[in-house]
Amino acid sequence: MPVGTRATVKTLSPKEIEEVGSEIILGNTYHLYLRPGHELIQKAGGIHQFMGWKKPVLTDSGGFQVMSLKGLRKITPEGVRFQSHIDGSYHFFSPEKVMEIQNALGADIIMSFDECPPYPATKKYVSESLKLTLDWAKRGKIAHQNSKQALFGIVQGGVFEDLRQESAERLMEMDFPGYSIGGLAVGESKENMLKITKFLNKILPKNKPRYLMGVGTPLDLLNNIENGIDMFDCVMPTRNARKGTIFTSKGKMIIKSARYKEDIAPIDEDCKCYACRNFSRAYIRHLFSVDEILGMRLATIHSLHFYLKLIKAARKAIIESNFKKFKNKVALEIGSEKIV
């Protein structure tokens, strides 16, 4: 899922989001609540109508964002009191309030309000946080009154397998239509991240989607798909693209590099995206070097197209019982941090 924090996938039009192959995008409840406000979006006919995007949308719970407001927020069993990062104004998110906001935004898939513990955190902290998140999940499920929106529970528990198991099992008792895995990609090692998704693969129901929040590099996606993950969101392809780092089938390309100054090849020879069909590395490098917005647009288009093509290829490989081979081939070609 490309990330459309403020009802726009940065630099792209909805037409382009569709053209790169997106089937669903993510919006951020915290940001949309503050600006332009969920009532306004509801009045405009919901998030799809407001932003001109006809396909599915998922909204997060805002939990991750308000927890990140260190010093500006206070957690109580009732919910979280926080100050806006924009103007310092005071607000309160409870599981019920977050459902009210997400019901108003009208996304197709919505999230339970959760506490995402920091990393590192003691087992005691994570365990207590988990109880809160489970209680909030229950309250959110009761408050959620729109059968057209699928509410996912969020599995927490840090890097502790027993806590993850407890979290998953309690949520499964509540019977959500899908399960998110939160609290990863927050600073722990890749080994720990994969250990947890592999562990949860044995526990979570096979017939319901599993969504790993905030991950990651192309190889992170494949490694986690191998561990049973179905859905991802990450700002990496779009944010890196805007800064001139483009994901390609051969690794990461730093397009501002002098080596591309006179390079009239497309970003990626085998790619069929709008950027690769029409423009050279030299042109896109020029756009970046003179700070022209079209550069960020073309880099974003290519990187998202690359990510989504990778995911489609992974799906195909799974269907053809060929995933392991596929993953190893991609890993060889891309490398995890390889710069082309």
Q: If you count DSSP H runs as helices and E runs as strands, how many of each does the chain have, helices first?
A: 15, 12
# residues near its own copies by CB under 8 A: 37
Residue of the chain from 69, 174, 254, 282 that contacts its own copies (CB under 8 A): 282
3-class secondary structure, 73 = strand
Q: Are residues 92 and 84 in contact, defined by beta-carbon separation less than 8 angstroms?
A: no
Question: What is the smallest separation between the CB atom of 237 and its own copies, expressed in angstroms?
Answer: 16
Residue 334 CA to residue 340 CA, distance in Å, equals 9
Residue 94 CA to residue 29 CA, distance in Å, equals 13
Question: What is the smallest separation between the CB atom of 22 and its own copies, expressed in angstroms?
Answer: 15
Among residues 60, 114, 220, 268, the one annotated as catalytic is 60
Q: Are residues 234 and 224 in contact, defined by beta-carbon separation less than 8 angstroms?
A: no
DSSP letters for 6-20: TSS-TT--HHHHHHT
Among residues 114, 220, 233, 268, the one annotated as catalytic is 233
Of 79, 68, 85, give the one whose Cα is nearest residue 34.
85
Q: Is 263 a catalytic residue?
A: no
Residue of the chain from 154, 196, 296, 310 that contacts its own copies (CB under 8 A): 296
* By CB under 8 A, residue 333 contacts its own copies: no
The angle subtended at Cα 62 by Cα 296 and Cα 105, nearest 5°, is 80
By CB under 8 A, the residues from 234 to 273 that bind its own copies are 261-262, 264
Question: Smaller CB distance to its own copies: residue 88 or 187?
Answer: 88
Question: What is the smallest separation between the CB atom of 54 and its own copies, expressed in angstroms?
Answer: 10
Q: Is 268 a catalytic residue?
A: no
* By CB under 8 A, residue 185 contacts its own copies: no
Residue of the chain from 3, 12, 236, 311 that contacts its own copies (CB under 8 A): 12
Kindly state the tokens that stand for 70. Answer: 């260190």
By CB under 8 A, the residues from 51 to 110 that bind its own copies are 51-52
Kindly state the tokens that stand for 291. Answer: 């700070």
Of 140, 219, 128, give the one whose Cα is nearest residue 180.
140
Question: What is the smallest separation between the CB atom of 30 and its own copies, expressed in angstroms?
Answer: 13
Query: Which residues make up the interface to its own copies (CB under 8 A)?
Result: 6-8, 10-15, 35-36, 40, 43-45, 50-52, 261-262, 264, 274, 278-280, 282-283, 286-287, 289-290, 292-294, 296-298
Which residues form the catalytic set?
60, 233
